[in-house]
């Protein structure tokens, strides 16, 4: 089981741009907000594990 950590960089309508925290990368991941927990905002830290996102 792998675990990844992200921060919400920006929110654009129904999508959010996430940046990996656990590796050195400038790439952003575009994720539908429907897949993310309610209450996220820019700067929210997330954990991705077992195909689900959780607020840290």
> Is the confidence at residue 1, as pLDDT, over 90?
no
- Give the integer Cα–Cα distance in Å for 56 and 27: 21
CB-based contact 18:9 (threshold 8 Å)? yes
The predicted structure's pLDDT at residue 38: 95
Residues 14-56 have pLDDT tens digits of 999 999 999 998 999 999 999 999 999 999 999 999 999 999 9
Q: What is the pTM of this model?
A: 0.91
* Token pair of 10 as six digits: 């920006």
The per-residue pLDDT for range 10-19, each reduced to its tens digit, is 999 999 999 9
Say how many C-beta atoms besides its own lie within 10 A of residue 24's C-beta.
Answer: 6
């Amino acid at each position: 089981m792998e675990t990844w950590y992200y921060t919400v960089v920006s929110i654009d309508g129904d999508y959010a741009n996430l940046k990996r925290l656990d590796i050195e990368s400038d790439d952003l991941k575009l994720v539908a907000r429907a897949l993310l927990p309610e209450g996220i905002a820019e700067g929210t830290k997330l954990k991705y594990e077992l195909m689900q996102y959780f607020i840290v």
